[in-house]
Amino acid sequence: MNPNELCAKLEGVIGFPVTPFHDDHSLDLDGHRKNVRYMLEQPMCALVAAGGTGELYSLTPEEVREVVEATLEEAAGRLPVIAGVGFAGGLAKRLASQAADCGVAGVLAFPPYYPNAEMDGLVDYYSSIAESSGLGVLIYSRDWANFTPAQAGRLAEIPGVVAWKDGTADIRRYQMIRERLGAKLHWIGGAGDDMVPGYYGIGIRAYTSSISAVAPKLSVKLHELGAAGDSVALNQLVNDHVVPLYALRTKRKGYEVSAMKAILELLGLSGGPVRPPLVDVNEAERDELKAILDGWQRAGFLEG
């Protein structure tokens, strides 16, 4: 898929499946396949294999390949699959090249391992990912990869960089970056399902959803209300069914993954434990998640 074709398809919900593990922390590929099939019962516009929700940074390159290949097989050409790429140096280049070999539509470039690197080094990092993959690159701005409009402009000049996923939730800065670069990049909301009102309010029409892994109907409804400009219904939906989950997710570092895995287990799907240094939710928090699921069930966002 050429980069322009990929960007044209990125409107709506970009799903982020978790990477399930067995109790001994080994990869649960059968569980991953089951989870992806569950997600694809709803109209995702793309899937990201081995992304942040998929614990990219806990996986070996061989495991990343297995996850990507399984995702591609389940997607069966129905929608683009994008592979997560990160770390730095030779490892980032290996993952980028491997992603292309697997046949993905593009790569999502996570920040390098080294915080607050010099801009020249960051340009080299993202350039190496683009060159090694030969695919469209989506830059993921988050954590220490928090760029000024001028810095974003430098990254947008890299051949192969085609899209920008904001993970900072800084709408003011995101507007400034978009104002500077305009149609040069495809723009994606990427800081969370709770940010859909903010992103869609400034004209973005694609967002990456971790809730899509557990309640894809809810994710799709958020997009539909945002795209329709129904801010009253959208904000009510977010307040009732998204904010409670995100409040729990902020309790401890890494709970943006741990909570989703716990929900999958409660739903009878495959989550398993997180890998260190992340930690699993406790029993009291699991009860909170059950209450959230009950609300989703009553609202019709879950089957059964």
pLDDT at position 247 is: 98
Task: Report pLDDT for 89.
Answer: 87
Sorting pLDDT into bands at 50, 70 and 90, what band is 304? low
Distance from first CA to last CA of the chain, Å, rounded?
37
Q: Per-residue confidence at 301, pLDDT binned at 50, 70, 90? A: very high
Residue 300 counted as domain residue: no
Give helix 283-298 / helix 231-241 axis angle, nearest 10°: 150
Residues 6+ apart with CB under 8 A from 182: none
Q: Which sign, positive or negative, has the C-alpha torsion 185, 47, 110, 254? A: positive
Provide the domain limits for residue 125: 3-228
Q: Is the pLDDT of residue 1 over 90?
A: no
CB atoms within 10 A of CB 148: 13
- CATH number, position 107: 3.20.20.70
Task: Give the model's confidence band at 249: pLDDT under 50 very low, under 70 low, under 90 confident, else very high.
Answer: very high
Q: How far apart are CA 101 and CA 257, in angstroms?
A: 28
On whether residue 126 sits in a domain, the answer given is yes
Bridge partners (DSSP) listed for residue 21:
27
- Looking up tokens 């990049």, which residue turns up? 185
Does residue 183 fall inside a structural domain? yes
Q: How far are the Cα atoms of 21, 32, 52, 60, 175 from residue 226, in angstroms, in the given order?
A: 34, 29, 24, 37, 17
Specify if 257 maps to a domain: no
* Domains held by the chain: number: 1
Mean pLDDT of the chain: 97
Which of these, 83, 63, 85, 60, lies nearest to 72 by C-alpha position?
83
Q: Note if the pTM is more than 0.85.
A: yes
Question: Is residue 282 included in any domain, yes or no?
Answer: no
pLDDT tens across 117-170, in order?
999 999 999 999 999 999 999 999 999 999 999 999 999 999 999 999 999 999
The residues carrying an active-site annotation are: 140, 165
**CA 67 → CA 59, 74, 227, distances in Å?**
10, 11, 31
The answer to whether residue 203 sits within a structural domain is: yes
* Assigned domain for 272 exists: no
pLDDT confidence of residue 303 = 75
Residues facing 12 on adjacent strands: 206
Query: Does 288 fall in a domain?
Result: no
